[in-house]
Amino acid sequence: MVVHEITHSWFGNGITSVSLIHFPFLYRWTHCCWYLCRHVNACHFWLNEGWTTYIERLLLQIIYTPAHRGFSFLIGSKKLYDDLKQYQSTPRYQRLQIDFEYGENPDDAYSSIPYDKGANFLLHIGKFPWWHCFNWLLLRRFGGR
């Protein structure tokens, strides 16, 4: 938990819906409009928590072993599947990007879905051949210019 909160300082709080402008491929993947990209709102909560969870697990691999990272993804997958079952009656809460109605409380959709589904999404796109270019962009964005 401490690693997760520290990771927010470096990645989670620095990645918001505004980041979609810097990483246009995320724009395509999240299917949002440019208007939303310019305004931080609750429907992009996964950007903050998904990135933080992904980087937290990457740090587990660096600090301990790749097995620790893999085990953390397995534990997260169990929580994710449990929460997906919980929201079967409201499938829109199962999405990464939730379009909240005016006046709707975002806490009604709070679960491990933005954390683990977001981290798994990033893990998935990390398998594409261009991921090394993405890592370069990430380091450039957060590691100085």
Residue predicted with more confidence, 85 or 61: 85
Mean pLDDT of the chain: 76
Q: Which of 5, 64, 104, 110 is catalytic?
A: 5
The whole-number average pLDDT for the span 57-69 is 86
Q: Which of 27, 54, 93, 115 is catalytic?
A: 115
Taking only the tens place, the pLDDT of each residue in 32-61 is 433 333 335 677 788 888 888 988 888 888
d(CA 50, CA 96): 9
Give the Cβ contact number of residue 100 at 10 Å: 16
| Catalytic annotation present for 27 | no
| Catalytic annotation present for 5 | yes
- pTM (global) more than 0.95: no
Work out whether the CA dihedral 32, 36, 38, 39 comes out positive or negative: negative
Helices 45-63 and 2-10, packing angle to 10 deg = 120
Asked if residue 39 lies in contact with residue 17, where contact means CB atoms within 8 angstroms, the answer is: yes
Tokens of 79: 């929580």
The whole-number average pLDDT for the span 57-79 is 90
CA distances to 89, 91, 138, 144 from 126, in Å: 32, 26, 12, 22
